[in-house]
Structure 1
Amino acid sequence: MVSPVPSPATPAAVPAAGLVRQARRQLARDLALSLPDLAARMDAFLGHLADQVATQREMQAHRAALERWRAHQADWIEGCRSALEAALEASALPAASMRASAALPDAFELLSDDAVENQIQAARLALAADELAGSSFEALRLRSQWLQHQELAADDLLRPETFCELLVEQWRLSGLPRSDLQGVTAPLQSALGELLQAAYESLHALYDHEGVPQPRELAVLRRNTDTPQPSQPMPLVPAKAPASHPLLRARHRAQEVVQQLRHLLAPGARAASAPGSPVPGAAAPAPVPGAPTPADPGLLQALAREAPAEASWHADLSAGTGGAAGVELGQLARALRQRSSSWKQQATAPSDRAAIEIVALMFQSILAQDRIPPSVRVWFARLQLPVLRVALAEPEFFSNLQHPARLLIDRMGACVLGFDAATMGGSELEAEIARIVQTIEQFPETGQRVFQLAHEEFEKFLAGYLTQEQSKARIISVVQQMEEKETLTIQYTIELRRLLKDMPVRAELRNFLFRDWAEVLALSAVRVGAAHAQTQAFKQAASDLVWAGSAKPTREQRAQLIRSLPQLLQCLRDGLTLVGMPAGTQTEQLKRLTDTLAEAFVAKTAAIAPEELEALARRLSHLEDFMAADGLPEGTPLSAHNIEILLGVEIAGLQVLGNSAQPVDPALLEWARTLQPGSWFTLDHNGASLQVQYAWHSTQRQLHLFATLDGQSYLMPLQRLASYLQSGLLVWHDAEGVTLRATRDALEKIEANPERLQS
C-alpha cells in the first residue's frame, strides 16, 4: 500500500493551480515594470562604449549601435510587454488547447535558423542570469511543482529561459540586429540576474503568505507506509550560496537523488547529504547511521554463479549481430528486463528487490541515452550484473556518488558523448571500453576493488589516447616547453634579484637582466639544456654585464672592458634574437646599455670586488641548483607569438586564446583545475558553436587544450578557461554524469509506479 507522506498535506489541485497562475501574473507584472530600467542600463552601457577612445572603425560601430538602440528602444520595450501578456494568456489555456496549437504547421517555424539562433542566445542569457539569481528559481520550481502536481512546462513563464527568449525575439522584431545584442550581453546578464532574483523573492513571499511549504519540507518521492519518516528535513543549499558556481544546480539534483535513495533503501536512516559530491572541492558529509545492510549472501552467491552464463549470453548476442554495433537496443533492453525480473524472484528481502529494480531501471536509462553511441551502450549493458552484485554487496554504491563503479561508467560515458555511431565504430576508445568490460566480467568476485583498478587503467589509457595524434602531441610538447620556459623565467628573475640585491648595479642594467635576460636564459635552458655551452655563455654574459657596468678605477680594467665589449654585445644580441626581439628593438636596447656602460666607464664610484664577481659567476653557472621547485604561477603569459618562438613555425589548426580582462570567481578557477581530460564541451568561440573534447592540461594545470574531431585545437590558460565557464561560452555536456542521470530517471519511474518495487 502506497500513500503520500502525511506532512505537509497535499493541496487541492484547482486552488493550488490558481495560486501558480497568480504567481505567473505577478511575475509578468514585475517583469513588465522593470523593462524601462533594463533599457536604461543598456543605454548607459552603449553610451559608455560610444564615449571610449578606440580605433576609428570601433568608435563608428559603437556610435551606430547606440543610435540604433535609441531609435528602436521604445519598440523593444512595448514588444516585450505585449509578448509578456501573450505568454501569460497562453499559460492560462487548457492543456488540450495548448497541445493542439503546438501541432499547427506554424510550429515548424521553431526549426528555422533564426529561431535556433534566438534560442541559443536566450539560453546563454538565461544560464548566466539564473546563476546570478542563485537557487531562488530551483526552490520556486519545487514549490510550484508541488502545487500543480506536475513539473513546470518547458515554456512556462516562471522559467528564466522563457523570459530571456522573449527578450531576444522582441529584439529582432523591433528591428535591432543580433550583433548589437551580443555587444550588450554582459550588462544584460547582470541586470537580468538582479531582476530575476528580486522577482523570485517576491513570489516566495506570495507562497509563504498562502502557507505553501518550504522546499525542504516537501516530499519529493512517495514512500511505503511502513517506511519511517526522516527525523530531519533534507538540507538544501541556502538561497544565498555562491551562485557563480556552474554546478550548483547539478549538486542540488545530486543531493536530492541520494536522499531519495536513502529513504527508499534504508528504512530508519536519518536524512543527510551524500558522502560523495559531484561538485569538485565540496565537503563530503559523513555517512549516516542506519545505512542499508549488504544483501543476503545466498542471493549474492546465486548471482555470482550466473555471471559466466550472463557474459556468454552477451557475447553470443553480439556475435550473432556482427558485433556490439549491430545489437538491436530495444531487443537488448527487453531481454535485460526479463533477466532482472528473474533475479528479483530470487530475492527474499524487500530492500534487495528494490535494489535490483533500481539497478535495472538505471541500465534501461543508459540504454536509452541517445547521446551515447549505440555500440558503447551495448557494452555498458554488460555491466548490469557486475554493478548489481557490487551494489547488493556494498550498498554505499547508492549513496556514494564517488563509488568506483559509478566513476568508471561516468568517465567512459563522458568520453564518448562527442562521437556518433560512424566515428565511434571500430575506434581505439571503443576497443578499450570493451576490454575493460570484459575484464570486469571475468572476475569471479566483483567488488569495489575491481572497479577501482578498471578505473585506474582507463585513466592511464586516456592519458595516451587523447594526445596520440601527431598534431596534438606536437602542440603538447611545445606547450610543455613553454610552461617550463615561463617557470624558469620567473625563477631566474627571482634568483637574479637575490644575487644583485646588495651589489652596486645601475638600475638600467638591473631592469635589463630581470626583464629581458632572464627570459633568454630560460628559453636557452629549455631548448638546449641548462648545462649547454650556449646557456653557460648567456649566464657568463650576465656576470660580464654586471662587471662592465661597475666603476673602472684602473687603466687595466678600462682596457679589458674595451677589448671584451664587442664580444659581450654580440652575445647579448644573440640572446635577444633567440627570444624573437625585432632587430630595431635590439638596436635600441643595446644602445641604452652601451650608454649606461659609457657612464660607468668614467664614474668615480666604488668598484665591485673581484671575489664578489667570481662568486656571482659561479652562482649563475649553477643557478638551477639554487632555485625552488615551484610550479608555474597563475596568469602565465600565453600567446601565439610565444608558441611560435618555441616551435620556430606556426602550428596549423591551433588557436591560442590568451587571458581576458574579465574577473573570474575563485570558485570557477578551482573548478576549472579539476576538469578531467576526455570530457566533451560546447565551445562558443567568435560566434561559432563547436563540439570540443578536453584533451590535455599542463603539469601545473595552468594551460589547457581542447580539440575538435576535425583536427582544430584551442589552447587557453586557466583564467580564460574559467571565464569561458563563467560566461557560459564553454558548456559541459555531462555535468551530472551517466549514472546520476540514470538514477534520477529510475526514481522518476518508481515514483510513477511504486508497486513495481514489490512485483
Structure 2
Amino acid sequence: MDLKPTTTDHRRLAQLARQRFVEGLCAGLPALDNRVHEFLTELMGQTATQREMQQRRDAWMSYQAHRKAWIELVTRAWREALLPQSATAAMPLDGGLELVGDDVVENKLLASRIALTVVEHVGAPFDAARQRTQYLEGRELSGRDVLRPETLCLRLVEPWLEAGLKREDMQLVLDPLQRQLGELALAQYQALARLYDQQGVAAAEGLRALVRRPLGTGASRHGALGPDSGGATLGRETPFPATLVAQPGAMPAPKAGARPGAAGLANPLAYARQRAQGVMVQLRRLLTLPLTGGDMAQAPPASPALVHALADERVAADLYYSDMATLVEDYSPQAVVHVAQVVRERAAEFKKKAGTASEKAIIEVVALMFQSILSEDRIPPAVRVWFARLQVPVLRVALAEPEFFSDLAHPARQLIDRMGSCVLGFDASAIGGTALETEVRRIVQVIEQYPETGKRVFELVLAEFEKFLAKFLTERQSTSRIVSVAQQVEQRETLAIQYTIELRNLLKDMPVRDEIREFLFKSWAEVLAMSAVRDGPQHADTVAYKQAAVDLVWAASAKPNRADRTRVIQQLPALLQRLRQGLVLTGVTGAPQDAQIKLLTDTLAEAFLSKTASIAQEHIDAMARRLANLEDFISEDMLGDMPLSADNIELLLGIDASAIHVIADNGVPVPEDVLAWAQRLPLGVWFTVDHNGASAHVQYVWHSRRKQLHLFAAMDGSSYLLQLKRLGAYLQAGLLVAQEEESLTLRATRDALTKLDANPERLFE
C-alpha cells in the first residue's frame, strides 16, 4: 500500500530515516577506528627510508594518543548534523560566499577526495535514498544534509584535526579509511532503503519524473530547457550545477560543496563538457542532420538562390566598409534594437530563398542565437552592434560545416565567446573608443571581407585576438608593473632551483663539510638567482658572487700546508664581506646574518686546523669554470615545483606590494586534471575571487611563460598573483568562480532551443 501521510508525517519519516542512518554510521565507527589502527601498525613494520619510517612511527603514536577523542568528535559531529541548520555551526557547503581560511579550503579538498571513493561505493543506493527523501520533504537535500557523502566526509576530517591529529597523517591512512567508510555508508544507505520500503515510500524509479531540478543556480536568466524530442532530458537532476561552456579552457569551477557524482567529483570538467555537449546534441537532433560515428555528415551545397542572397550580403559589406570613413557609427541602445530587427528581417529573407527544410532550420537557429547575443545587455552596445554583423559569416559557416552545431571548440564559436567574455566586464562608457572595441571592429571587418568563407578565417582572427589580449590586458601601468615583477619572480625562483641543482652536482664528489653545503644550497643559490635577475648573469656582481662560492668551498677544505693557510688568512676578510653583501641582497640582515656568518667562520676555523687532505686544485678550477657560465648548462627540464614568497615581490624591485595579494602554493595536493584546467584558462575571462573573506571582481590578465604564476586584476587596481597549485585549489573549492557559468554562444544556443521548444513551427516557416 502506498504511503499517503500528511506533510508532517512525511517530514517525521524523513527525519527518522536520518536518525537511523546516523546511528548506524556511529555504530560502525569502532570498526573504522580498528581498520585505521591496524593499517598504521602494519605500515610501521614495512621497510622504508629512515624518514618515512619515523613519520609512520610518529603517526602511529599520535593516533594511539588521540584515536578515542577523534571517534567521539566524529560521533558528535554526525549527530549535530541532525539538528536544524540554524542551530548548527556547520560550515556551509552550498557554494555561497563564506569567510574561509586556508584550513577550511584544505579540509574541503581532503573531504572531497575521500568522498570520491565513498560515492563509488554508494552511488546508486545514495541516489535512491536522496530521491525518496526529497519526495517526502518536497525539496532538495541541502548542501549540509547528513545524507550527502561529502557532508559525512567533511565531518570526519574536521574532528581529526580538532582531536590533535595531523592532516598529513590522514593522508597516510587515506586508502583504508575511505574504503572502510564507503562500506559503512553503503550498508546504511541500504538500510535506509529497507526502511522506506517498509513504510511504503515509492521506489526511486517512480519518483524520477517528480523530482526535477532546473539547469542549475547559474543557468541562463532566460530559463531552462525541458526534455528534447529524442528523450535527452537537459533538466534532469545533475551532480553539479549546470556549468555549461563552449570551450575547454573557460570552464568555471563547480560550487564548493556541490554534490558530486561518481564520475563528476573525479573530473568535474569532463562532466561539464558532457552537459554542454548535451545541448549541442539536442540542437543536432532538432536540425535532423545525421551523425555518423560521431563525425558530422558533409553538408550538401546550399540552394542557388540562397547562395546568391549570401553573395549579395558580401557585396553590401564591401560597400559598407568602403564608405565607412564618412559614416558616423551609432552605438546607442536604439541602434542595438535596430540591428536586432535587421537580424530578424535578414533571416526571414534568407528563408524565402532556402530550398530545403534543413536550410530554413539552420537559418532560424543562427538568427535566434544572434538575437540572444544582442539581447545580452551586459555586453556594451558598441560591441553588440558589431556582433550583429557576424550573422551572415556565421550562417555561411553553419551551412557549409554542420559541425558548427556540435563542436564546442569550433573557431567561430570560440571567437565570439572570447570576445564576449572579455567585454562583459565593461560598461558602455568604459569600452567606447578603447583598443578592445577597436579590435572587435577590426576582426569583424576582416571576417566580412575575407576571401574565404569557411572556418579558416575564424581560426586566423581568433589567433590574432589571443595575441592582442595578451598585450591589451597588461597595458595598464599598474598591471604591467606587476607583470614585470611576477616575471622576474618566476625567473628568480626558477634560477634558484637550477643553481641549487647544479651546485649539488658540482659538490657531489667533493669532501665539503655539511655546513658549507647547506649554506650554498639554501642561501647562496638564492643570492646567485637574485643577482642574475636584477643585474644579469654576467654582471660583475653576479660573477663575483659565483667566485665567492668557489672561494668558500676551497677555504672550507683542509689546509695541510703553510702556503694555503696564509692564502686563506689573506682572502678571508674580503670573502666574508662578499658573503654579507650577498645575504643583504636576499633580505638577510642583522642577527640572522650574523648567525650564518658565525657558523661559516667556525667551520672555516676547523678546516684551517684540519690535517686531512685538501680538495684538489683542478676540482676547484673546474667548479669555477662551470659556475662562471652556469646558465649555459641548466635547463627547465631539471625543475620541480617552484616556491614563491610574498617577500620576493618587494625584494626584487623594491616596490610597494600592498596592492598585490600573493597566494602561494601551500602543499595541498591538487588533482592533475584540475591543474590542467587551471593552465587552460583563457585570458580576459572575468571571475569572482573569494580571498580571506573578501570578494572581488577580477579579470584573468596574465600568466607566466611556464604557467606557474597567474595574475588576476581588479578594477580598483588591486591584483591577485596565484601560484599554479593554489589556483587549482581555488578553482576546485569554488573560491575562484567564472562570472559566466556558460559561454555566450552556448547560452545563445540554449535560448534558441527554448524558443523552438515552445514554437517548433517557426523552423520551417
TM-score by length of 2: 0.71
Which deviations, in whole Å up to 9, do the C-alpha atoms of 1:610-631 show, x marking residues without a partner?
1221112111111122212438
Percent of aligned pairs with the same residue? 49
User: Which residue pairs with 2:312 in the alignment?
Assistant: 305
1:414 aligned partner? 421
* Structure 1 segment 445-484 matched on structure 2, within 5 A: 445-484=452-491
**Quick one: which amino acid aligns to residue 410 of structure 2?**
H
Cα distance, 1:452 vs structure 2: 1.2
Q: What CA distance in whole angstroms lies between the structure 1 residues aligned with 2:493 and 2:19?
A: 53
Which is bigger in relative contact order (C-alpha 8 A, separation at least 6)? Answer: 2
| Residue-by-residue CA offset, 1:550-589 (whole Å, 9 max, x unaligned) | 1111111111110110011111111111111022111110
Following the alignment from structure 2 to structure 1, what is the Cα–Cα distance between the partners of residues 739 and 522?
43
**Alpha-carbon deviation of 1:478?**
1.0
Which residue of structure 2 lines up, in the alignment, with residue 241 of structure 1? 263
Classify the secondary structure of the residue corresponding to 1:324: coil
Structure 2 partner of 1:99: none
Question: Which whole-Å CA distance do the structure 1 matches of 2:758 and 2:26 have between them?
Answer: 45
Question: For the residues of structure 2 that align with 1:361 and 1:137, how far apart are their CA atoms?
Answer: 43
- Alpha-carbon distance in structure 2 between the residues aligned to 1:390 and 1:248: 27
- Verify the 8 A CA contact 1:668 1:726 in the aligned structure 2: yes
Deviations 1:703-751 (A, max 9, x none): 1100111211111101111111111111012343111111122122212
- Cα distance in 1 for partners of 2:337, 2:324 equals 13
Higher mean alpha-carbon deviation, 699-708 vs 243-252, is at 243-252
Match of 1:699 among 689, 692, 705: 705
Q: Does 1:257 align with 2:239?
A: no
1:571-590 to 2 correspondence within 5 Å?
571-590=578-597
**1:564-643 alignment runs, 5 A limit:** 564-630=571-637, 633-634=640-641, 636-643=642-649
Counterpart position of 1:670 = 676
**Corresponding position of 1:207:** 204
2:263 alignment partner, SS class:
coil
Q: 1:139 to 1:456 in 2, by over 3 A?
A: farther
Aligned to 1:514: 521
Residue type of the alignment partner of 2:646: A
Show CA shifts across 1:378-411 (max 9, x none).
Answer: 2211111111111112222112111111110010
Aligned to 2:349: 342
3-state SS of paired residue (2:640): coil
CA distance in 1, matches of 2:144, 2:83: 16
Look up the equivalent residue of 1:77 and give its one-letter code: L
| Post-superposition offset of 1:220 | 3.3
Q: Which of 748, 757, 763 is 1:742 aligned to?
A: 748
Kindly provide the CA deviation profile for residues 352-395 of structure 1, in whole angstroms up to 9, marking residues without a partner as x: 11111110111111112233233322221111111111111222
Query: Structure 1 residues 563 and 74, CA, compared in 2 at 3 Å: closer, same or farther?
Result: closer
Give the distance between the partners of 2:422 and 2:351, measured in 1 at CA. Answer: 33
Contact 1:122 1:161 in 2 (8 A): no
* Cα distance in 2, alignment partners of residues 78 and 554 from structure 1: 83
Q: Alignment partner of 1:660: what SS?
A: coil
CA distance in 2, matches of 1:138, 1:320: 63
1:717 has 2:723 as partner: yes
- Quote the residue 2:291 is aligned against: 269
In the TM superposition, residue 526 of structure 1 has moved relative to its aligned partner by: 1.0
Give the letter aligned to residue 392 of structure 1.
L
1:502 aligns with 2:502: no
Task: Name the residue aligned to 2:140.
Answer: 158
Equivalent residue for 1:538, pick from 541, 545, 550 = 545
Q: CA deviation at 1:440?
A: 1.5
Q: Give the letter for the 1:521 counterpart.
A: L
1:405 paired residue among 412, 415, 436: 412
- Partners of 1:294 and 1:22 lie apart in 2 by 65
Partner of 2:47: none
**Cα 1:638–1:119, aligned 2, differ >3 Å: closer, same or farther?**
closer
Query: Which residue of the other structure, out of 432, 446, 451, is the alignment partner of 1:439?
Result: 446
Structure 2 unmatched ranges of 5 or more? 29-71, 147-169, 171-177, 213-224, 240-259
Contact 2:431-2:437 at 8 Å conserved across structures:
yes
* Aligned-partner Cα distance in 2 for 1:81–1:579: 51
State the distance in 2 between where 1:318 and 1:752 align.
44
Aligned length: 627
Give 1:456 shift.
1.3
Contact residue 697 and residue 703 of structure 1 kept, 8 A? yes
Any gaps of 5 or more consecutive residues in structure 1?
1-14, 42-65, 83-114, 165-186, 224-228, 273-286
Opposite residue 637 of structure 1, the aligned amino acid is: P
Shift of 1:498: 0.9
For residue 454 of structure 1, report the CA deviation from its aligned partner: 1.2
Between the aligned partners of 2:541 and 2:412, the Cα distance in structure 1 is 53
Query: Contact conserved, 1:135 with 1:249, CA < 8 A, in 2?
Result: no
Q: Distance in 2 between matches of 1:313 and 1:407?
A: 26
Residue 656 (structure 1) aligns with: 662
- Mapped to 1, the partners of 2:693 and 2:340 lie a distance apart of 41
The residue identity in structure 1 corresponding to 2:647 is: H
- Contact 1:327/1:378, CA 8 A, preserved across alignment: no
Give the letter aligned to residue 408 of structure 2: L
Task: Name the Cα RMSD after superposition.
Answer: 5.0
Partner of 1:324: 331
1:256 maps to a residue whose letter is: G
- Alpha-carbon distance between aligned partners in 2 of 1:621 and 1:755, rounded to the nearest angstrom: 78
Work out whether 1:374 is the aligned partner of 2:381. yes
| 3-state SS of 2:291 partner | coil
| C-alpha deviation, 1:163, in angstroms | 7.0
In structure 2, the CA distance between the partners of 1:206 and 1:422, relative to structure 1 (3 Å rule), is farther
Once the two structures are superposed, what CA deviation does each residue of 1:593-646 show, in whole Å capped at 9, x if it has no partner? 110011111111111111221112111111122212438533x22222111110
Distance 1:26 1:434, change over 3 A: farther
Deviation, 1:532, is: 1.1
One-letter identity of the residue aligned with 2:364: E
> Cα distance 1:678–1:378, how it changes in 2: closer, same or farther (>3 A)?
same
The 1:313/1:757 distance shift into structure 2, 3 A limit, reads: farther
* Matches for 1:193-204 after TM superposition, within 5 Å: none
- Once residues 402 and 334 of structure 1 are traced to their aligned partners in structure 2, the CA distance between those partners, rounded to angstroms, is 29
TM-superposed deviation, 1:245? 4.0
Give 1:334's aligned amino acid.
Q
Cα pair distance change 1:472/1:139, threshold 3 Å: farther
Q: Secondary structure at the match of 1:436?
A: helix
Letter paired with 2:680: T
Contact conserved, 2:317 with 2:449, CA < 8 A, in 1? no
Tell whether 2:497 aligns with 1:490. yes
Per the TM alignment, residue 209 of structure 1 is displaced from its structure 2 partner at its CA by: 6.2
State the distance in 1 between where 2:532 and 2:671 align.
36
Q: Structure 1 length normalisation: TM-score?
A: 0.72
Quote the Cα distance in structure 1 between the aligned partners of 2:261 and 2:492: 45
Kindly provide the amino acid, as one letter, of the partner of residue 675 in structure 1: L
Structure 2 residue 506 is the aligned partner of structure 1 residue 524: no
Distance change in 2, residues 1:527/1:267 (3 Å)? closer
Q: 1:293 to 1:206 in 2, by over 3 A?
A: farther
CA–CA separation in structure 2 for the residues paired with 1:197 and 1:446: 61
Q: In the TM superposition, what whole-angstrom CA distance separates every residue of 1:74-103 from its partner, at most 9, and x where no partner exists?
A: 799246699xxxxxxxxxxxxxxxxxxxxx
SS of match in other structure, 2:203 = helix
Q: Distance in 2 between matches of 1:606 and 1:476?
A: 51
Give, in whole Å, the separation in 2 of the partners of 1:506 and 1:652: 41
Whole-angstrom distance in 2 between the partners of 1:331 and 1:195: 60
